[in-house]
Structure 1
Amino acid sequence: MQNFAAIDFETANSKRSSVCSVGVVICRNGSIVEEIYEMIRPVPDYFSQACINVHGIRPRDVAAADLFPAVWSRIEPRISGLPLVAHNRAFDRSCLQNVFEAYDMIYPDYEFHCTLLAARRLHPELPNHRLNTLSRIYNIDLQHHQALSDARACASLALQIL
């Protein structure tokens, strides 16, 4: 796969609509050409301690951030026509679908590919197929659970295994 947008969301709480950050890495002709990182005021607008412990994002970090529709209006034109790729597409696709629903936006049924599923097929011998494990194996820099770093690692992995 040479042309795609790798995407990663972090959530504020257990609700998949509660995206509080997004990282997008756009690849064209097999190269990373653009990176996008945005903080988002989540819906519902509260943070669970469990999520803060994972990604370190706190309510004060998103207090001045835009709501999802404004953020997506800046991202969507830049990824138009590209398939999306995520590491664990089930999570990221459901975040996207749920936040679209929370704002009564029409979900355009994006084509989604998954580096997690591809890695499971390619490397059944591995004890797990987490992004941090695969990043070590493929020598990819990663600040795990930082949306842009996760999207960048996913893009690098996708360029090698999809």
Structure 2
Amino acid sequence: MNFIAMDFETANHERHSAVSIALAIVRDDKIVDEFYSLIRPETYFSRRNVAIHGIEEHDVLDAPKFSELWPVIQPLFTEDKLVVAHNAPFDNGVLKGTLNYYGLEEPHYMLLDTVRTSRQFFPSFNNHKLNTVAENLGISLVHHHNALDDAAAAANILIYEAQHFGAEALRPFVKYR
């Protein structure tokens, strides 16, 4: 399988408040490249979000705004590309909200949510949070809520599922955006 896994962390509940982004690029069932960046949002930081991911306002003072990062990663978001996220409605919502905030055109791509696939393939798990699924499958997740570790874990969950259930079993979960 070839795809990218994405993960965002946010400053607050607003969908345009991304403070970090990570992409894990998968080719032939292996992570072959990774991208990570802090992002300087144009909004406030909530204590709740900072407590989750540990990224504070002073950490992103010199980071680029999302509008400066988008030209670098935009080529990965095309109609023929599969984008994967664990809880894809959240990460896809952050991407869409941030693009809209900056007046940037939304790309079209295929989207798959590994929360949905893990619920289907592993119904006996206590829950289907990223750390729970990763632990049950023996997938490394050193720093949960670090965007790069989370993106890599989501990628490895899909790789595991494809190897154990076949790529065809994943097709019903692909949505076109």
Q: TM-score, normalised by structure 2?
A: 0.87
Distance 2:123 2:157 in 1: 16
Unaligned stretches of 5+ in structure 1? none
Cα distance in 2 between the residues matched to 1:63 and 1:140: 33
Determine if the alignment matches structure 1 residue 150 to structure 2 residue 143.
no
Aligned AA (1:149): D
| Counterpart position of 1:31 | 30
RMSD between aligned alpha carbons? 1.2
Identity of aligned residues (%): 39
Structure 2's unaligned 5+ residue stretches are 163-177
- How far residue 30 of structure 1 moved from its aligned partner, in angstroms, is 1.3
Q: Secondary structure at the match of 2:49?
A: helix
Q: Find the aligned partners of 2:112 and 2:55 in 1 and give their Cα distance.
A: 27
Larger relative contact order (CA 8 Å, sep ≥ 6) = 1
Query: What displacement does 1:79 show?
Result: 5.2
Q: Structure 1 runs of 4+ off > 6 angstroms?
A: none
Alignment of 1:10-159 (within 5 A): 10-43=9-42, 45-78=43-76, 80=78, 81-142=80-141, 143-159=143-159
**What code does the residue aligned with 1:103 have?**
Y
- Rounded to whole Å, the distance in 2 between the matches of 1:58 and 1:39 is 11
> Higher mean Cα deviation, 121-130 or 146-155?
121-130
User: Partners in 1 of 2:17 and 2:56 — Cα distance?
Assistant: 13
Note the alpha carbon deviations across 1:97-134, whole angstroms, 9 max, x for none: 10010001110132110110000011111220000001
